Amino acid sequence: MNASKPKILIATLGTRGDVQPYVALAGELVRLGADVVVATGRGFDTMIGKVGAQPRAVPIDFEALLGDPVTREAMFTFRGKIKVARTTMEDQKKVVRCLWRIGLEEKPDLILFNLKATVMTLVARRLNVPALPTALQPVVTPTGDFPVSLFGLPALGKLGNRLSYLAARKLMALGLSPMLKPLRAEATAEFEYPGEMIDGHMPDGSKALCLQGFSSALVPRPKDWPETSWLSGYWFMRPANTYMPDRELMQFLEDGPPPVYIGFGSMPSRNPEDLTGLIMRSLTQTGLRAILARGWGGLTGHTLPEVLKDKVFLIDKAPHIWLFPKCSSIIHHGGAGTTHEALRWGKPSLVCPVFADQPFWGQRVHAAGAGPAPISQKKLTTDLLVKALYALDAPAYAMGAKAAAGIMALEPGAEGAAEEIMSRVPAVRARAKSA
């Protein structure tokens, strides 16, 4: 690392959807002249290295965890989620301690963290540097416009919506407490600082800037947000132009009208066989062309029935940034990344959520006029999917999706967020020199 360059540490935990936007941001920071370290789970070193940042892996693989059959089954019940949290507690404690050590070793000028890595607030307090909270969904800053996005809540009225954020903060604090316990003896002074860890740290005692990495096309900026909550738009990766599709996939795309894309990313399905069969029956009834992404997110490698062999193409994976522009519409689980990527290209979407923030994104897509009302995977039937497939072809949804794409094209995104972050570094360094 170059001592003359500002050093920025990014800490983000989760699956690819939780990591890739931060890698996009890291790449933009590197282009602006920063040395960037990205601390995250295993499996992302290559992606991080490609944008010129330095990876620091922590001892957990979230995608492998979600791929475990026992974990996947547990995710469908509240009791199961609690069980998973308890059985992985020791691993999570190791992750927290590792992030603490990475922060102290790297000695950054500035820290960015997502909500699963709030231990970085303690690091910032120890080093006396800024730590800025970030989010890819509305979870940090309370508003009366809508409830916190994590629990699939209905609208609760202005007061109820605001209270939902306070409740979420309490729950997150309770969940974090046992994971942070191993650090309490070593970081006693840091724990005693005023303020909540979720809000980050500013050495001068001011409120830290909160970077909201999602689009106003889906979440118009609430009027009751403070100035310190900055809505930048989603942090997309720049096209790599290195993907080489199979000849068969290219031939399929060229042989007919744009297909529907159907895929559920890394989200588990309780009954993959049933879900895949349901999709096959729906496509048979509609006669629509489709690309079906099997991956490991819940769809199985069914043999295509004869009637679908010329209509459906099975893939394991393909970059959304390359594939989505070539599709007519997108059916997906409602992860923040997939939701934004679909609308980025003006494609109507049907969201079939499983849990967490996915119902929220499904509701926002529908509210933006860019797709039908979401249908949870557990309630999905052949009849409902057939109706949704026909509905996706409605001109109104195409117009709504194109309008969303137009808004996204004008947002600062990762590049603008990087510029905003870098604009703060000189003051940070000047203060450090005078201290």
Both structure tokens of 320? 């959304």
Say what the pLDDT of residue 240 is. 76
Mean pLDDT value across the chain: 89
Same fold? 7-234+411-434, 247-409: yes
Contact between 112 and 211 (Cβ < 8 Å): yes
Say what the pLDDT of residue 334 is. 93
Say what the pLDDT of residue 294 is. 78
Q: What dotted CATH number matches 7-234+411-434?
A: 3.40.50.2000
Instruction: Identify the residue whose tokens are 């894309």.
Output: 261
Q: What dotted CATH number matches 247-409?
A: 3.40.50.2000
**Helix pair angle (16-31, 336-344), 10° resolution:** 60
315/284 Cα distance (integer angstroms): 18
**CA neighbor of 18 nearest in space, from 327, 265, 323:** 265
- pLDDT band at residue 303 under the 50/70/90 scheme: low
434/426 Cα distance (integer angstroms): 12
**CA neighbor of 103 nearest in space, from 117, 89, 88:** 117
Q: Where are the domains of the chain?
A: 7-234+411-434, 247-409
**CA neighbor of 131 nearest in space, from 61, 199, 30:** 199
Can you tell me whether residue 291 is helix, strand or coil? strand
Q: Indicate if the pLDDT at residue 302 is higher than 90.
A: no
- pLDDT band at residue 223 under the 50/70/90 scheme: very high
Contact between 392 and 348 (Cβ < 8 Å): yes
Query: What's the whole-number mean pLDDT along residues 314-338?
Result: 93
Contact between 109 and 7 (Cβ < 8 Å): yes
Say what the pLDDT of residue 277 is. 87
- Containing 260, the helix (H) or strand (E) segment is strand 260-262
Say what the pLDDT of residue 356 is. 84
333/265 Cα distance (integer angstroms): 7
Contact between 408 and 343 (Cβ < 8 Å): yes
Q: pLDDT tens digits, residue range 347-358?
A: 999 999 988 899
402/392 Cα distance (integer angstroms): 13
Contact between 423 and 32 (Cβ < 8 Å): no
**CA neighbor of 98 nearest in space, from 151, 167, 39, 20:** 39
CB atoms within 10 A of CB 402: 15
Q: Indicate if the pLDDT at residue 296 is higher than 80.
A: no
Interacting residues of 37 by C-beta distance below 8 A, sequence separation 6+:
7, 8, 9, 10, 53, 54, 55, 56, 102, 106, 108
138-152, 304-318, 367-381: range with lowest mean pLDDT: 304-318
Both structure tokens of 117? 């890595």
Contact between 112 and 9 (Cβ < 8 Å): yes
Q: pLDDT tens digits, residue range 400-416?
A: 999 999 999 999 999 99
Interacting residues of 434 by C-beta distance below 8 A, sequence separation 6+:
none
99/349 Cα distance (integer angstroms): 37
- Rounded to a whole number, what is the distance in angstroms from the first to the last CA of the chain? 23
36/28 Cα distance (integer angstroms): 10
